[in-house]
């Protein structure tokens, strides 16, 4: 009778790929993710008994089928992902399936899923890493302690009930605070005017020189403009220099998410889902092939064999001049665990062109990004030449420059953005001491701008820089703050909702550790220390819980005394008693309640996406609510009675008090697309409020901002309030849009 070998992975897709590689030698099964976890409806951690956790089986049917599969197996290989989570899954499988025969189990680390790599890993299996398992267990207990003990208090304070469903996760709360702090910076920012001065010279070819300094005083500008009209202008210096541009390091998890967001428009979650599919295997000519290495990594390290293959490929495809003089290595960041290689193609021979017909469009885009980025690392630097000219006029220094490509190097494979002065006209004949003809003076007034809101990829960059979270958690953090309703996407940027602002403010006041990046980063470092065998689980849990317990007792004592520990005051006054109203939560929605509750029980509805300002000690809502209550006076089409304006979960609408007929809110602006309809307010989950034609679905014209009037410049579009650009025309070819 032949020996039976069983291989267990966590993903069904990966199981199918490995079955194709291993044939009848192995039976391959999937655990379908984690097999044990803390109980769903209770804390599951005995804080009085050294934080002893209670682990429960997630799906007994899965465990039952796996037990049956390994009963007569001589050898069981656990090939779950090579990270903390994968190690914990492997540990649980060994415990649940061992049945007193734990010596049959072996740990296999698959950093890439190709036939050769898999067989090589199976020839040299290892043992489970108990330190990795301890680190994962500690992280899970930490998250449970914060989530299950702070969240009920948060719900009680903001909603009046402990189980309203508000969440205060250990890492998500820090991300939320980053977004809220940035919003505060933006709202407090006061734009300052400044002026840029350019000289446009009528030479052959014409060129422009820019004042080296920024002018911030209007009187200084007027004085300079006056003297420039009569000033003698001459060239004071001409110089040329080489500009080298070096390839970026190979991608790691954070830079993959950032680059895919910037270049492909992928969210972090989508990026990781597509990358997981490329890692687990894609069917090529009837066989499943893993196209990239493991995609959860913080290391830029690459194997010698992969470097050698890439360099040979570059020499063959582009010539020896395009290969870097020596193998290029990149230094890891200080906090890097260096557990896995950088993200790279399993073989550069499978070019994007070779696999194009086997991949979905999004898979091809991401694979091409990874392939080009990796191949570029072993290519020569790109070389540009820059010519710089210094010009003196009225005692001020002006500069002009132009650059051009000398040798493209790695940019032949991995294109980069043009230099600011690339391709700009500049006469070759300019020389020091040369007088220049009188120029046209071009003055442009500009204003300083506030910092931009975080994009999803920008938030990942911030989390990585501050040491918050780890490669395996970035995508989840970015997603969960949006799923909780704390943050919404607006034009590609992340903006806190009123609920998110309230949650962050409460946590910052009463549980500062949950939103303080330094504390969270130290916790991540301690988890790394546990993984390296240099720290103990109990010490880390005691440190966190001692602080958390003191904070919880403080809030509970205030609540027990009948006081209100925290209120989100607004600039809206109660219509009954005149006291300021506060933001309250009810069934996932927000409303205003009187701060004198329970003596005054006055309430007021809040629109779901009402804009708000951040005052010194309260939320500014009065102006936005006044605008939200403005609506056209229309009669019910069914009974003729005047309709009332209502605010629902999905925006404003009109409702008849007599027959309950409803209608969207009309803007009074005709649709510029079909000409027959009128633009009305609409709302979409994930998009928020927008404006569309009432003839939908026959007319699908939409606008992201409130329409105002037909455009007089082009007579084809309508003017509307664009969220990021102010008032503009909907017609992209309108002269008013420049």
Question: What DSSP designation does 664 have?
Answer: P
Residue 529 to residue 539: CA distance in whole angstroms = 12
Number of residues that make up the chain: 738
Q: Which long-range CB contacts under 8 A does 691-695 form with residues at least 24 apart?
A: 691/667, 691/720, 694/664, 694/666, 695/671
Helix (H) or strand (E) holding 361: helix 361-376
| Distance of alpha carbon 343 from alpha carbon 80, whole angstroms | 18
Instruction: Give Cα 732 distance to the centre of its chain.
Output: 29
Strand order across the beta sheet in which 726-729 lies: 707-710, 718-722, 726-729
Q: Are 467 and 175 in contact (CB under 8 A)?
A: no
Q: In 10 A of CB 210, how many CB atoms?
A: 15
126, two tokens = 């290892």
Distances (CA, A) of 30 to 81, 497, 570: 12, 40, 53
> How does DSSP assign 518-569, residue by residue?
HHHHHHHHHHHHHHTTSS-HHHHHHHHHHHHHHHHHHHHHHHHTT--S---E
The two three-digit tokens of residue 168, written as one number? 């205060």
Q: Is 474 a catalytic residue?
A: no
What distance in Å separates the CA atoms of residue 566 and residue 595, rounded to the nearest whole number? 11
Own/partner long-range contacts of 87-91 (Cβ < 8 Å, ≥24 apart): 87/128, 87/129, 87/132, 87/133, 87/136, 88/34, 88/132, 88/133, 88/136, 88/137, 89/10, 89/31, 89/33, 89/34, 89/35, 90/128, 91/128, 91/130, 91/133
What gap in Å lies between CA 681 and CA 721, rounded to an integer? 13
Q: Is the dihedral of CA 130, 132, 135, 136 positive or negative?
A: negative
Number of Cβ within 10 Å of residue 371's Cβ equals: 21
**Three-state helix/strand/coil letters over 460-507:** HHHHHHHCCCCCCCHHHHHHHHHHCCCEEEECCEEEECHHHHHHHHHH
Helix (H, G, I), strand (E, B), or coil: what is residue 247?
coil
Which residue, among 388, 416, 421, has the nearest Cα to 241 in the 3D structure?
A: 388
* Catalytic-role residue among 279, 294, 474, 545: 294
**Rounded-to-integer distance, Cα 243 and Cα 591, Å:** 58
Token pair listed for 186: 């933006």
User: What does the alpha-carbon distance between residue 729 and residue 736 come to, in Å, rounded to a whole number?
Assistant: 7
* Closest among 704, 535, 410, 573 to 134, alpha carbons compared: 535
Please give the positions annotated as active site: 294
């Amino acid at each position: 009778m032949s020996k039976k070998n069983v291989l267990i992975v966590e993903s069904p897709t990966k199981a199918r790929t490995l079955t194709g590689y291993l044939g009848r030698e192995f039976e391959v099964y999937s655990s379908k993710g984690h097999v044990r976890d803390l109980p769903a409806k209770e804390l599951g951690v005995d804080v009085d008994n050294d934080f002893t956790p209670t682990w429960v089986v997630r799906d007994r049917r899965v465990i039952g089928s796996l037990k049956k599969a390994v009963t007569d197996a001589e050898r069981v290989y656990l090939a779950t992902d090579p990270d903390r989570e994968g190690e914990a899954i492997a540990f649980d499988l060994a415990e649940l399936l061992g049945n007193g025969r734990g010596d049959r189990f072996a740990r296999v680390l698959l950093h890439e899923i190709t036939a050769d790599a898999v067989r090589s890993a199976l020839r040299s299996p290892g043992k489970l890493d108990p330190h990795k398992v301890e680190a994962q267990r500690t992280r899970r207990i930490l998250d449970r302690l914060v989530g299950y003990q702070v969240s009920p208090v948060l719900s009680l304070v903001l909603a009046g009930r402990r189980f309203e469903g508000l969440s205060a996760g250990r890492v998500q709360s820090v991300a939320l605070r980053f977004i809220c702090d940035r919003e505060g910076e933006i709202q407090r920012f006061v734009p300052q005017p400044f002026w840029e001065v350019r000289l446009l010279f009528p030479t052959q070819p014409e060129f422009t020189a820019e004042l080296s300094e920024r002018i911030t005083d209007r009187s200084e500008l007027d004085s300079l403009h006056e003297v420039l009209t009569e000033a003698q202008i001459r060239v004071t210096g001409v110089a040329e220099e080489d500009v080298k541009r070096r390839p970026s390091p190979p991608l790691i998890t954070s830079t993959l998410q950032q680059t895919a967001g910037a270049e492909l428009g992928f969210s972090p979650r989508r990026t990781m889902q597509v990358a997981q599919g490329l890692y687990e295997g894609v069917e090529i000519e009837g066989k499943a092939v893993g196209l990239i290495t493991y995609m959860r990594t913080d290391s830029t390290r690459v194997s010698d064999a992969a470097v050698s293959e890439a360099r040979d490929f570059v020499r063959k495809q582009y010539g020896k001049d395009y290969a870097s003089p020596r193998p290029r290595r990149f230094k890891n960041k200080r906090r890097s665990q260096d557990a896995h290689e950088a993200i790279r193609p399993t073989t550069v021979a499978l070019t994007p062109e070779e696999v194009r017909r086997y991949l979905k469009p999004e898979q091809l885009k991401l694979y091409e990004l990874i392939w080009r980025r990796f191949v570029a690392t072993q290519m020569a630097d790109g070389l540009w030449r820059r010519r710089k000219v210094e010009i003196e006029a009225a005692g001020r220094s002006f500069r002009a420059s132009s650059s051009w490509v000398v040798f493209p190097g790695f940019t032949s494979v991995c294109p980069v953005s043009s230099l600011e002065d690339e391709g700009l006209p500049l006469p070759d004949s300019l020389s020091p001491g040369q007088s220049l003809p009188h120029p046209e003076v071009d003055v442009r007034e500009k204003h300083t701008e506030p910092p931009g809101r975080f994009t999803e990829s920008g938030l990942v960059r911030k989390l990585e820089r501050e040491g918050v979270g780890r490669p395996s958690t970035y995508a989840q953090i970015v997603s969960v703050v949006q799923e909780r309703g704390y943050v919404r996407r607006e034009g590609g940027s992340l903006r806190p909702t009123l609920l998110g602002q309230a949650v962050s403010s409460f946590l910052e006041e009463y549980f500062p550790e949950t939103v303080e990046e330094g504390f969270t980063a130290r916790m991540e470092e301690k988890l790394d220390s546990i993984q390296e065998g240099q720290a103990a689980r109990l010490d880390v849990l005691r440190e966190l819980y001692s602080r958390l317990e003191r904070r919880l007792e403080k809030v509970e004592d205030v609540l027990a005394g009948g006081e209100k520990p925290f209120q989100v005051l607004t600039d809206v006054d109660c219509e009954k008693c005149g006291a300021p109203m506060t933001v309250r939560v009810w069934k996932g929605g927000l409303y205003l309640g009187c701060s004198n509750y329970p003596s005054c029980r006055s309430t007021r509805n809040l629109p779901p996406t009402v804009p708000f300002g951040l005052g010194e000690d309260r939320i500014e809502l009065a102006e936005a609510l006044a605008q939200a209550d403005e609506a056209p006076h229309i009669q019910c089409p069914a009974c003729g009675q005047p309709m009332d304006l209502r605010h629902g979960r999905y925006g404003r609408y009109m409702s008849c008090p007599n027959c309950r007929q409803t209608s969207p809110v009309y803007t009074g602006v005709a649709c510029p697309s079909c000409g027959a309809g009128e633009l009305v307010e609409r709302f979409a989950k994930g998009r928020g409020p927008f404006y569309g034609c009432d003839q939908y679905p026959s007319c699908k014209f939409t606008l992201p901002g409130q329409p105002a009037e037909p455009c007089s410049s082009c007579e084809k579009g309508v003017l509307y309030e664009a969220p990021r650009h102010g008032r503009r025309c909907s017609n992209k070819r309108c002269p008013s849009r420049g």
